[in-house]
Amino acid sequence: MANTTASIKYLSNSVQYDNIYVGTLGVTRSDLTSAFTRAQVDHPSTFSTAIHPITKAAPSTTKAIVYWTVSIGTYNSILDQGEHAVLAVAHGASERPTSLDKVRVEVVVPTGAPLTVERNVPSITTSVVDLG
């Protein structure tokens, strides 16, 4: 998923973006905190040392990265058979969804159908919410 050819749309009850996609990470990560730490290296213009949605400040607007939890072969922008990828969305400080908000993320690639995931946000009791 090269960020020059793919896009990720984001819609909630209060925010709508045509493309929040920053890009993929160049290494495998096993958790969200280390993924956003690596994003500071791979995408410093978006996730600087002061911007880390888990341990520091949130980005000014909602952004998304893709990272691999299982990678076979090279780290590229193609999800190969047997690989596992995670789409992580970092909400802007004033754009975070609230309880019962409906969020929709749509992955649009140059060929094939878009993938749309829609979820209702549960009551939020932690800083990270896994919507499956």
Contact criterion met (CB below 8 Å) for 98 and 121: yes
Kindly list the domain boundaries of the chain, sorted by start residue.
7-120
Give the per-residue pLDDT at 39. 94
Give the per-residue pLDDT at 103. 93
Nearest to 71 by CA among 56, 86, 57, 60: 86
Q: What is the Cα–Cα distance from 21 to 115, expressed in whole angstroms?
A: 14
Q: pTM for the whole thing?
A: 0.85
Residues 6+ apart with CB under 8 A from 30: 69
Return the percentage of the chain with pLDDT > 70, whole number: 95
Mean pLDDT of the 84-91 span: 92
In 12-75 the beta strands, taken as DSSP E runs, fall at 16-17, 21-28, 63-70
Q: Which amino acid is at 11?
A: L
